[in-house]
A and B are shown apart, each in its own frame.
Chain A
């Protein structure tokens, strides 16, 4: 099988605290991998490591079979151009209006003419359920959910091969969540795009995932398909999916991660 992302025994120490403690995972081409886990277990840090934004303490990360450490700066840029990223907080450029945000990667990364990029951007805005009327509005004037959707539109504007979505449906109403989940499914199914998402939304999880990994205290403690998530005996998974207060996850274990 052809793997797009391979992470091997990744360890990350930030500010003296062990955040990731030996994580390995592999994502096949066209597969949608979803990471779940408590708040603060290092899900976002894991994604940032794969994107080369945080340097891991040890371990290897390969994208399309190439070790990130072996890539030249230029090759890294080319790799990143093939990735679409949605940050947890959106990370919209607040000095630019919506359309400039969405076209940014096309214009600056790919060097596309502005007019052409605009056309693509309007299309992408519509696909996340936003009207092109907001094109000239600045991010600060948008609602939280709209901001998230603009960030989504920006992430998919370049038609990436790999998408990284950090909580794509958080802060959205149930209907918009469903639309976004469907969009992710459409991106991956049939188009050969691989996806690595993080979510706390169990409904969306069942919709978008092929494979699910559960992170706990910097380790991957379970991995399985979305069918397995409902049939497994793993007490962690059962408690997490049910959102129960009793089980192996306690506030005590939670505090230890810090």
Chain B
């Protein structure tokens, strides 16, 4: 009985992966052929890139500060304080930056994409798009996908800068590190791969957030409750996939 249940869940999982893949292929096929909806793309770029800056910045600042404090508690026992700047830098650029940015963006944008598209689905607006001869994948999904995949890395980069700055502020003004030494220790340990690998993760996460967000919206059932449930699905599945993929990517990339 138990094995049958597991088997059923596994098969359902494979089926949904298949459906998401079909959804993606449809979007790409519709999206790459002209005409391009530049206005839509620009609008999504502003939504995703610009309006996410405050929460991404705040998250980065606080985690950078907290990281430095935590490291200090641990490292000072071994008088290894000089390693703090580089450890904070690596933790932020490779790990916390992309993951936290992605999770914040999931909460902010993944949820709103699902709610918006879900509402359009249940109020027949997607049907209306079709009867006005506009492909909804091209008009709704592709611009979001393009903006997410290209702009999430930039958000991660900004997160890196603000996070390291947060660490610096705590290190220099609270823990009394020498400012020049802190900066030197941070940058001497930094490689471009630290930054790039984090940004690469960001791009993958952006893809996941948008794909799951839009896909869940299309699946949403009638009524406010249906849209609410779709939004929960979208946020939960994106978050889990982000953490899972983060683990896998970290194994592959390092």
Contact residue among B119, B124, B125, B132 (Cβ-Cβ distance under 8 Å from A109): B132
Are A53 and B127 in contact, CB atoms less than 8 angstroms apart?
A: yes
29 contacts between A and B (CB under 8 A): A48-B127, A51-B127, A51-B131, A52-B130, A53-B127, A53-B130, A77-B135, A80-B130, A80-B133, A85-B128, A85-B131, A87-B124, A87-B128, A89-B123, A89-B124, A91-B125, A91-B128, A92-B128, A93-B125, A94-B119, A94-B125, A95-B116, A104-B132, A105-B132, A105-B133, A108-B133, A109-B132, A111-B35, A158-B132
Are B134 and A108 in contact, CB atoms less than 8 angstroms apart?
A: yes
Distance from B140 Cβ to chain A, minimum over Cβ atoms (Å): 10
Question: A38-93: which have CB < 8 Å to B?
Answer: 48, 51-53, 77-78, 80-81, 83, 85, 87-89, 91-93
Q: Which residues on B sit within 8 Å (CB–CB) of A81?
A: 133
Q: Which residues on A sit within 8 Å (CB–CB) of B125?
A: 91-94
Distance from A175 Cβ to chain B, minimum over Cβ atoms (Å): 27
Query: Cβ of B23 < 8 Å from any Cβ of A?
Result: no
Contact residue among A48, A83, A91, A158 (Cβ-Cβ distance under 8 Å from B123): A91
Main secondary structure of the interface of B (DSSP, over half): helix
Number of B residues contacting the other chain (C-beta, 8 Å)? 18
Q: Which residues on A sit within 8 Å (CB–CB) of B131?
A: 51, 53, 80, 83, 85
**Docked complex Cα distance between A78 and B133 (Å):** 7
- Count class of interface residues, chain A: 20 to 34
Distance from A77 Cβ to chain B, minimum over Cβ atoms (Å): 5
A109-B128 in contact given A89-B123, A91-B123 (Cβ < 8 Å): no
**Docked complex Cα distance between A105 and B134 (Å):** 8
Q: Which residues on A sit within 8 Å (CB–CB) of B119?
A: 94
A87-B127 in contact given A108-B139, A111-B35 (Cβ < 8 Å): yes
Distance from A163 Cβ to chain B, minimum over Cβ atoms (Å): 11
Q: Which residue of A is nearest B135, CB measured?
A: A77
Residues of B within 8 A of A (CB): 35, 37, 116, 119-120, 123-125, 127-135, 139
Question: A88-136: which have CB < 8 Å to B?
Answer: 88-89, 91-95, 104-105, 108-109, 111
Are B127 and A91 in contact, CB atoms less than 8 angstroms apart?
A: yes
Q: Which residues on A sit within 8 Å (CB–CB) of B37?
A: 108
Q: Which residue of A is nearest B138, CB measured?
A: A108
Distance from B89 Cβ to chain A, minimum over Cβ atoms (Å): 41
**Docked complex Cα distance between A140 and B35 (Å):** 30
Distance from A156 Cβ to chain B, minimum over Cβ atoms (Å): 12
**Docked complex Cα distance between A151 and B115 (Å):** 23
Q: Which residues on B sit within 8 Å (CB–CB) of A104?
A: 132, 134
Distance from B126 Cβ to chain A, minimum over Cβ atoms (Å): 9
**Docked complex Cα distance between A111 and B35 (Å):** 9
Inter-chain pairs besides A52-B130, A91-B125, A109-B133, 19 sampled, C-beta below 8 Å: A53-B131, A77-B133, A77-B135, A80-B130, A80-B131, A87-B128, A88-B124, A89-B123, A92-B125, A93-B120, A93-B125, A94-B125, A104-B134, A105-B132, A108-B134, A108-B139, A109-B132, A109-B134, A158-B132
